[in-house]
Amino acid sequence: MTTKRGIEFYDEIKPINVSKMIEEIQENHAERNNYDWFWTIGDEKEVVKVVERIIEEADFYNIDYMFTSKCYWCGILTADPWNELNMSEEETLNLIAHNHIKVTTDKDGISLTFYPNTKSPLYKLFRKYPDGYGENISSGINGVIRKLRDFINKRLSEHSDDYGTWTENCDNEECEEEMM
């Protein structure tokens, strides 16, 4: 199917639901703490800002993304057509992450989605191969999104105070009085 912009592979790029990831983190925290503490997630706009900041901090020069498969350039991207850019894989991964992955909100919550940024140096490559060079472009972008998901999940798990509040679960009057 051809999109309005004439680039077919856009439909093959799958968003990642960050809200579901946060719900899983919330449940894992509760289980680890024997439900003695409740964690309340903050305002959606604040959570979006935190996720956007994590993406800005993501640097594929420092993120372990290597696979062992010989069909890949070095880790996530296949050599063709990405090598036409005359950039390192890390440079290309950073361009994708910082110029084409956006944090969006909709009825399903917060998601990581692909954004066809026309000002990005990668956009010419996307226009050159509207079919995605087979599945090489879409699978590469999906790989970046999955790696960012893992990076974001780790950061959100480690820094839950940045976007949520902890309160003690009080089952008795004495505990409730201490909290006041």
HEC letters along the chain: CCCCCCCHHHHHCCCEEHHHHHHHHHHHHHHHCCCCEEEEECCHHHHHHHHHHHHHHCCCCCCCCCCCCCCECCCCCEHHHHHHHCCCHHHHHHHHHHHHEEEEEECCEEEEEECCCCCCCCHHHHHHCCCCCCCHHHHHHHHHHHHHHHHHHHHHHHCHHHCEEEEECCCCHHHHHHHC
- Residue 2 counted as domain residue: no
- Residue 47 counted as domain residue: yes
Average pLDDT rounded to a whole number, residues 41-62? 92
For residue 17 the two structure tokens come to 């639901």
Q: Which domain holds residue 45?
A: 8-179
- Residue 3 counted as domain residue: no
Instruction: Evaluate whether 29 touches 161 at the Cβ level (below 8 Å).
Output: no
Average pLDDT rounded to a whole number, residues 4-22? 88
What pLDDT was estimated at residue 76?
A: 85
What pLDDT was estimated at residue 10?
A: 93
- Residue 1 counted as domain residue: no
Domain count of the fold of the chain: 1
Q: Is residue 7 predicted with pLDDT exceeding 90?
A: no
- Residue 27 counted as domain residue: yes
Q: Is residue 177 predicted with pLDDT exceeding 70?
A: no
List pLDDT tens digits, range 71-128: 445 578 888 999 899 998 889 999 999 999 999 999 999 999 999 999 999 999 999 9
Q: What percent of the chain has pLDDT over 90?
A: 57
- Mean of all residue pLDDT scores within the chain: 84
Average pLDDT rounded to a whole number, residues 149-164? 90
Residue 145 to residue 8: CA distance in whole angstroms: 18
Strand partners, 113: 102
- Residue 63 counted as domain residue: yes
